[in-house]
Structure 1
Amino acid sequence: MNHEPAERRDGNTPGVETIAVAYLLAAGGDAGLALRRAIADALADLGEAERRTRQRDRLISRGYVRAGPLRGA
């Protein structure tokens, strides 16, 4: 399995260690609670990404129906 480095190379976004420490601090040192919160946030982000994908697919489909297929392409 390929995982990103502990700290991202681009420096623009926090890496795994930074995020893990932030969750652990926010949970008052309770590792179980920190893990559950991180998982809940990841699932919420995944759900939002899936919603956006479905919305984009609907818009693309609607545009194709309105414009029709490209002829001679």
Structure 2
Amino acid sequence: MTHEPAERREARGPGVETIAAAYLMAAGGDAALALRRAIADALADLGEAERRTRQRDRLISRGYVRAGPVGGE
């Protein structure tokens, strides 16, 4: 894993420090609560990404079965 300076990360979106500060502020300064919320959100996002991947894989499989291999003999 690479650790880039915050200035470079900011161009792609909020950096770790910005996200951590937002969670901490939303949790009223309770670091343990902020951490649990951040982990819960990350797990929810991961679950959604996995669900989308499975859905995409099913669609690809169905398309392959219907169309058959490209350039078949």
Please indicate the TM-score interval, normalised by the length of the shorter structure: 0.7 to 0.9
Unaligned runs of 5+ in 2: none
Give the equivalent residue in structure 1 for 2:44.
44
More off after superposition, 34-43 vs 6-15: 6-15
Unaligned runs of 5+ in 1: none
Give the equivalent residue in structure 2 for 1:13.
13
In 2, are the aligned partners of 1:7 and 1:15 still within 8 Å (CA)? yes
Could you tell me the TM-score, scaled by structure 1's length?
0.87
Q: Give the fraction of aligned pairs with identical amino acids, expressed as a percent.
A: 76
Distance change >3 Å, CA 6–CA 43, structure 1 → 2:
farther
Q: For 2:47, give the aligned amino acid.
A: G
Distance change >3 Å, CA 19–CA 3, structure 1 → 2:
farther
**1:26-65 maps to which residues of 2 (within 5 A)?**
26-65=26-65
Could you tell me the TM-score, scaled by structure 2's length?
0.87
SS in 2 for 1:23: helix
Alpha-carbon separation, structure 2, partners of 1:40 and 1:63: 35
Aligned residues: 72
Of Structure 1 and Structure 2, the greater helix share is in 2
| 1:71 CA displacement | 2.4
